[in-house]
Amino acid sequence: MTQSKQQLENQLWNIANTLRGKMGADEFRDYILGFIFYKYLSRKMELHADKILKPDNLSFRELDGHPQEDLYLEAVKEDALMHLGYFLKPSELFSELARRGNGNGKSKFILADLDKVLRNIEQSTMGSESEEDFGNLFEDLDLTSSKLGKTEEAKNELIVKVLTHLDQVDFDLENTENDVLGDAYEYLIGKFASGAGKKAGEFYTPQQVSKVLAKLVTLGKDQVKNVYDPTCGSGSLLLRVSKEAEVGAFYGQESNPTTYNLCRMNMIMHDVHYKRFDIYNEDTLENPSPNHFDERFEAIVANPPFSAKWSASPLFMSDDRFAAYGKLAPKTKADFAFVQHMVHQLSDTGTMACVLPHGVLFRGAAEGHIRKYLIKDKNYLDAVIGLPANIFYGTGIPTCILVLKKNREHLKDVLFIDSSEHYEKIKTQNYLREEDVEKIVDTYRERKTEDKYSYVASLAEVKENDYNLNIPRYVDTFEEEEPVDIKAVASELKALEQDMRATDDEISNFCNQLGIEQPF
């Protein structure tokens, strides 16, 4: 019987919590997610190889020791590299390592073998089309780390336990009708993010925020040619777009090598073929991918690091991304530099939606100049959406979403939405509910003014406000207090005064009876 997504999520999370011991959640993340990924690759390899070998009445495992093993393996490898992008031998399968490590119920030393297998997976792609997509994928799985244990035996025992527990989990990859494992993997990434504090912002956007962005850039579309995220983290935003519309290709850039690896794993775990994604490991502003730079994207989504520092080198004034604006974003706040980069990459028929700190709406100087250029000179700004505070892991600041298009339908106005008070608070974190997400998207779709929630402002009004986009200037959320009935208040005060006199008299009487001094 096929297990549900929730059952698989709970099973994997319980394994992670049970086995990580004293290791921090964010530290153990790389190991548990890496081994889940290894098992996925193994099972995928075995299913694919079995299909190839079926006409010969052979299974992949039966090739181990077969008289024509080398001949068969070469044929399977050639096909696997083309269709899967990588290759494993039968002896390198996850279940085989788990079996050897747990021989006769006792842990046997497999760390060296395991490390070799993981490197072999990476090296199997060398010289092939998928080399860049699989290169160094397992570099964060340091099997020599003291975090795993003080002795080699302790490290080995922990790893064997992880492999043994995971080996008992049915990933149900034979069922191609759903993406249960991919969703479970995404769930784990989110769970680790919620416990990682400030570090979480480096690799994960809360699911409901991702949903808002994805719905905004795919509105009215069943498919998009491509989607791009210049600060893609774990790839959750990119993958979320594919839940709203069919996506031809995924493009992203990520500066953190560990998160870059996680993103590629996440893509593959969601069964995105290696030819359909191109993720690049570098700083987007300083070193944009040469493979992406001449591309133009139909959908762009992003949650850039808030008010990050960048070089703001004068050399960038001759860069096509920034030259037309006449000014660069300040060194201490790269928010608008990311916006400029995305606008450059946006296709003429595309939509971009990005999360930014509220400061971008009203800060002056260079940022005010860039903001004015985008609105007055280019007329790209389509909507400004205010989000609740404290919905991102690691920061409580209020944020907003900017929606930009190069060819807008509504050329004479900008939509403002104030969703800052529409959320659910769970413990110390605020969350967008499903109804909050739908209200934002419906309001954007219908482009309507709603009292204390949204307002369609003419460009003339925005100009009058000197291109300051601070949402309270456009959406009045002020709640009038009920008028005070002075006569009723005076009557209440008189009644209170009479009660106080009666109480004083009673206390005075008690003091006289006890023969003690009165307190007043």
DSSP string spanning 61-121?
GGGTT-TTHHHHHHHHHHHHHHHTS----GGGSHHHHHHHHTGGGS----HHHHHHHHHHH
Domain presence at residue 63: yes
Q: By the 8 A CB rule, do 205 and 275 touch?
A: no
Look at residue 300 and give its three-state secondary structure.
Answer: strand
Q: What band does 438 get if pLDDT is binned at 50, 70 and 90?
A: very high
In this structure, are 392 and 492 located in the same domain? no
Neighbouring residues of 36: CB distance < 8 A, sequence distance ≥ 6: 12, 166, 185, 188, 269
Q: What angle do CA 89, 91, 93 make, to 5 degrees?
A: 75
Helix 180-194 crosses helix 25-53 at what angle (to 10 degrees)? Answer: 170
In this structure, are 381 and 457 located in the same domain? yes
Whether residue 171 has pLDDT greater than 50: yes
The percentage of the chain sitting over the pLDDT mark of 90, rounded to a whole number, equals 69
In this structure, are 265 and 407 located in the same domain? yes
Q: What band does 99 get if pLDDT is binned at 50, 70 and 90?
A: very high
Give pLDDT, residue 239. Answer: 96
* Average pLDDT score over residue span 272-285: 96
In this structure, are 225 and 189 located in the same domain? no
Give pLDDT, residue 513. Answer: 73
Q: What band does 364 get if pLDDT is binned at 50, 70 and 90?
A: very high
CATH number at residue 458: 3.40.50.150
* Average pLDDT score over residue span 47-59: 95
In this structure, are 171 and 230 located in the same domain? no
Whether residue 22 has pLDDT greater than 80: no
* Average pLDDT score over residue span 195-221: 81
Average predicted confidence (pLDDT) for the chain: 90
Give pLDDT, residue 44. Answer: 95
Residues 512, 156: Cα–Cα separation, whole Å: 82
Whether residue 329 has pLDDT greater than 90: yes
* Average pLDDT score over residue span 417-446: 93
CA distances from 165 to 19, 32, 393 (A): 9, 11, 30
| Tokens 């492999």, residue located | 163
Whether residue 200 has pLDDT greater than 50: no
DSSP assigned state of 392: B
The percentage of the chain sitting over the pLDDT mark of 70, rounded to a whole number, equals 94
Residues 53, 76: Cα–Cα separation, whole Å: 8
In this structure, are 297 and 412 located in the same domain? yes
Q: How far apart are the first and last CA of the chain?
A: 80
CA distances from 276 to 186, 226, 256, 270, 273 (A): 19, 9, 22, 12, 5
Residue ending a domain, choose from 151, 174, 194: 194
Give pLDDT, residue 7. Answer: 85
What six digits make up the tokens of 397? 């600041």
The closest of 241, 270, 373, 356 to 305, measured between CA atoms, is 356
Give 460-513 pLDDT, tens digit per residue. Answer: 999 999 999 999 999 987 655 667 778 888 888 888 888 888 887 777 777 777
Biggest alpha carbon–alpha carbon distance for the chain: 112
* Average pLDDT score over residue span 33-42: 94
* Average pLDDT score over residue span 191-218: 79
In this structure, are 210 and 182 located in the same domain? no
The closest of 337, 142, 182, 405 to 272, measured between CA atoms, is 182
In this structure, are 123 and 250 located in the same domain? no
In this structure, are 177 and 221 located in the same domain? no
DSSP letter for each residue of 181-206: HHHHHHHHHHHHHHTSGGGGGGT---
Give pLDDT, residue 491. Answer: 82
Domain presence at residue 478: no
Q: How far is CA 124 from the centre of its chain?
A: 30
Residues 259, 235: Cα–Cα separation, whole Å: 9
Give pLDDT, residue 1. Answer: 40
Residues 489, 497: Cα–Cα separation, whole Å: 12
DSSP assigned state of 395: B
Q: What band does 85 get if pLDDT is binned at 50, 70 and 90?
A: very high
Give pLDDT, residue 3. Answer: 63
CATH number at residue 189: 1.20.1260.30
- Give me the number of domains the chain comprises: 3
Look at residue 170 and give its three-state secondary structure.
Answer: coil
pTM of the model: 0.88
Give pLDDT, residue 102. Answer: 82
Whether residue 433 has pLDDT greater than 80: yes
Residues 130, 78: Cα–Cα separation, whole Å: 13
498 sits in which H/E element: helix 486-514
Domain presence at residue 310: yes
Domain presence at residue 324: yes
DSSP assigned state of 151: S
Domain presence at residue 437: yes
In this structure, are 303 and 156 located in the same domain? no
Neighbouring residues of 278: CB distance < 8 A, sequence distance ≥ 6: 249, 250, 251, 252, 289, 291, 292
Residues 18, 31: Cα–Cα separation, whole Å: 13
Give pLDDT, residue 264. Answer: 96
Look at residue 385 and give its three-state secondary structure.
Answer: strand
Residues 442, 438: Cα–Cα separation, whole Å: 6
Give pLDDT, residue 516. Answer: 77
In this structure, are 361 and 454 located in the same domain? yes
Q: Which domain holds residue 286?
A: 197-473
The closest of 398, 404, 397, 394 to 370, measured between CA atoms, is 404
Give pLDDT, residue 197. Answer: 53
Q: Ranked by mean pLDDT, which of 141-155, 157-171, 357-371 comes out on top?
A: 357-371
In this structure, are 108 and 142 located in the same domain? yes
Residues 78, 74: Cα–Cα separation, whole Å: 6
Whether residue 94 has pLDDT greater than 60: yes
